[in-house]
Amino acid sequence: MSTRNHAFTEPAKKHLGQHFLHERGIINKIVQAVDPQPGDRLVEIGPGQGAITFPLLDRHGELTVIEFDRDLIFPLTEAARAHGTLEVIHRDVLAVDFTALTGGEGQIRLVGNLPYNLSSPILFHALEHAAAIRDMHFMLQKEVVDRMAAGPGSKVYGRLGVMLQAYCHVTALFDVPPGAFRPPPKVDSAVVRLVPRAPGTIGIVDADKFAAVVRDAFGQRRKTLRNALSKLCDGAAIEAAGIRPDARAEQIEVTDFVRLANHLAASS
């Protein structure tokens, strides 16, 4: 297959949060991080002008992409012919059933330069289908990746990181400067790897209860858990789960939030 760069120059649409990657060195690092293997079912979110799409096709031979912008579909499809077999799903990614993309067998691997204004909704949508996903390699705003990977005690440790780390192993891979995009965004970016945990190792009894505990705990960061969680439980219940009621959310390990949520679920 051809390794020529067939990326085209459709202008970016600001209202869709489009910033098209063009830096060859960064593109190569992403493809190396994904390291597609025979038999993998690769799905790219937001292929844009094909900067990652075509190198992945050159490496793997086939790829499914999810693209919302109708104007990009025809040029993507035409340019892809020189690289491999491309399946295009023209839909809002939040309306795509990732589990259905497995075809009832195996798991998919997600890749994407996510629109920064939709990154969190896309991440949580992927979590709903975690059992069908082997891993995810996403380019995001660096600030978001920092929050995703942060641990207790960090200034950026919060709801996003706890929710993702409860269900996935999260690894920040490398930073990407604004100049790697066209047009350049006003912020630094970063690439992150998420590997969903095996269902039997997550240990969350009630997903809704867990989400509610994490949401309320970080709702007002300066409050102690006793005060922040007052709508869900009292200090005695927090202490019964082995956690100090006077601690603040940013001091608490992910496993502690799981234990507290499970205790409350069992008591309700």
Q: Is 6 labelled as part of a ligand binding site?
A: no
Q: From CA 157, how far away is CA 154, in angstroms rounded?
A: 5
Contact 213, 261 (CB under 8 A): yes
Q: From CA 178, how far away is CA 198, in angstroms rounded?
A: 35
Q: Is 67 labelled as part of a ligand binding site?
A: yes
Q: Is 72 labelled as part of a ligand binding site?
A: no
Q: Which residues contact 237 (CB under 8 A, 6 or more apart)?
A: 263, 264, 267
Judged by DSSP in three states, 178 sits in helix
Cα angle 75-138-90, degrees, rounded to a multiple of 5: 35
Q: Is 21 labelled as part of a ligand binding site?
A: yes
Q: From CA 6, how far away is CA 153, in angstroms rounded?
A: 46
Q: Is 92 labelled as part of a ligand binding site?
A: yes
Q: Which residues contact 66 (CB under 8 A, 6 or more apart)?
A: 43, 44, 45, 46, 89, 91, 93, 96
Q: Is 253 labelled as part of a ligand binding site?
A: no
Which single residue is written with the structure tokens 């809002």? 92
Q: Specify binding-site residues for S-adenosyl-L-methionine.
A: 19, 21, 46, 67, 92, 113
Q: Specify binding-site residues.
A: 19, 21, 46, 67, 92, 113
